[in-house]
Structure 1
C-alpha cells in the first residue's frame, strides 16, 4: 500500500528532491512550502498523489492546521520529514537577538512542533516513521556555526530521546545527520552576522561562503533515495542517528 508522507520545505533543495523521489516511487506526499506555486509542476504531473499545503514552519498555529489538512485529504500520515531550515554564519557575539531567535525557531522549535502535531495521529495508528533532517553539525562543532549547530545539536538530542519514548507505539524516529549537499543552504538561503575584528577564522569562513566558493559535494538526489528507503521500511531502521 502506498505510504503518505508529510514533508516540510518541499519546494526547494533536498526537500524538493525527496518529494520528487517519493512521488516517483508511487507514494503520496503532503508537500508543505511557503510558496506552493513552486510545486505546480508536480501537481500537473502527479495529480492527487500530491497535496500542496502552504506553511511557514515558524507559524506554530498554522502547523496544526496543515497537519489536519493532510489528514483530511489522505486519511493518515505514515512518514514525517522535518526538512525546512536555513544556515547562518558568524561569531557568536556578532549575531543579533533576532538572528538567534529566527535560527532556533526555524531549525529547532519548528521541527519539534511539527513532530508534536503529527504524533497524536501516528499514536492512534500505532505506526509511523519520523525523519529529522539534521546535520553533521549536530555532532561536531565548528567556528562560525554556533547558532546553527546549537539548533542541530538540540534537534538530534530531542530525536534520540523521542525515539525511546515512541518506539513502544510502533513509531520509529531517526535523526539524519549528513554532510553538505549541493542545495541553496550555502547560497541564497544562507544568512550572516556582521563581521567583528579579531575573529579571523570566522571572518575568513564568512567571506568564503559569501564568495560562492563553497560547493558541497553531496548529491541531494542520491541522498533522497537513501532517505526514501528509510521512510518506506516498516520496522526500526537501525540507530536513531544516521549519517
Structure 2
C-alpha cells in the first residue's frame, strides 16, 4: 500500500477515536484496536476499504504479539504506531492499593512498552517508522491526587526518551504527545478512583478529584484539532521529541521547567561540592 498504515490502540472514544477518523479522512489506512468484539464488528461494517478494526487486550502479551503478527501478515508493514490505549486514575498515594496501581501500569506502561517492542522488530527491518506515545502534561508535572497516573506516564516518557536516541540511527522516529485536559471520557466513566478514602487528604487529593470530575465535558481541548496536530507531526520531515497540546499543557509544563530550574540554581553550590577534589 502506498499510503501510510497506522496502528492505533484504543480507538473506541476520545483522542483515539478522533485520531482514527482524521487519519481515515486524510487517506491513510487505519488499523484500530478495541477491547470488545461487538465494537470491532460495528467499526468494520462502517469502514470496508479504508480501515480495519481488531480486538486487542493491551495488558495481554500474547494478544499483542498476535495482533502485530496479523497486521504484518495482512498488510506487510506498520508505518505509524500510536500507543493511545490507557486509563486514568485519581487518588492520594497512601489511599491507593498496589492492586489499583498495577491496573494503571499494565495498560499505561507495560502494554505500551510491549506494543513498542513488538512493532520495533518490524520497523527495524524496514529502516523506517514512527512511534507516537500518547502521554500527558501529567507525564511531565505531577499533581496531588494524580500521582499514580503521573508515575505511569513518567515511566512511559522515560523509556520513550531513551528509545528515541536508540532508534534514530535506524531511521525510526519517536514522538511523545502531551495533551492537557481534552473533551473526552477521561474524566468521566473512564476514570478510575482509589477505593480507600482518607480524610486527611481531602484538601489535596480530594480537591483534585472533585475538580477533575467537575470539568468533565468542559475541557478546553478539541480532540479533532489535536488529531490534526499529531498527523502534521508524523508527516513533518522535522519532528520534535515532545508535542504539548493545549494552553493548560503549555502552562503546567512551563511551571515544571521553572520549578526544576529554580531548584537547580538554589542547590548549584551544594551539587558542585559533592565531588572528589
Fold match (TM-score > 0.5): yes
Q: Is the 8 A contact 1:82 1:111 kept in 2?
A: yes
Q: Deviations over 1:111-164 (max 9, x none)?
A: 111000100110000000010000000111110011000011111111111001
Kept after mapping to 1: 8 A contact 2:40/2:54: no
Alignment map for 1:1-243 (pairs within 5 Å): 1-40=2-41, 42-193=43-194, 194-199=196-201, 200-210=203-213, 215-233=218-236, 235-237=237-239, 239-243=240-244
Q: Distance in 2 between matches of 1:60 and 1:96?
A: 24
- Say which SS state the counterpart of residue 200 (structure 2) adopts: coil
Alpha-carbon contact 1:36-1:54 (below 8 Å) kept: yes
Over 3 Å counting, the alpha-carbon distance change for 1:12 and 1:214 in structure 2 is closer
- How many Å separate the matches in 1 of 2:46 and 2:235? 22
Question: Deviation per CA, 1:90-118, whole angstroms, max 9, x where unpaired?
Answer: 11011111110111111111111100010
SS at match of 2:48: helix
Q: Does 1 or 2 have the higher relative contact order (CA < 8 Å, sep 6+)?
A: 1
On the 8 A contact 2:40/2:55 being kept in 1, the answer is no
Provide closer, same or farther for how the CA distance between residues 236 and 128 of structure 1 changes in structure 2, counting only shifts above 3 A. farther
Cα distance change, pair 232–62 in 1 and its aligned pair in 2 (3 A): same
Given that 2:89 and 2:148 are in contact with CA atoms closer than 8 Å, whether structure 1 keeps it comes out as yes
Counterpart-to-counterpart distance in 2, 1:33 and 1:89: 24
Structure 1 position 201, deviation (Å): 1.6
Distance 1:213 1:183, change over 3 A: closer
Name which of structure 1's ranges 26-35 and 38-47 shifts more when overlaid on structure 2.
Answer: 38-47
Tell me the distance in 1 between the aligned counterparts of 2:113 and 2:20: 21
TM-score (norm 2): 0.83
After superposition, the Cα gap between the structure-2 partners of 1:201 and 1:223, relative to the gap in structure 1 and judged at 3 Å, is same
Bigger Cα Rg: 2
Shift of 1:196: 0.3
Is the deviation greater in 193-202 or in 34-43? 34-43
Cα RMSD, aligned residues only: 1.6
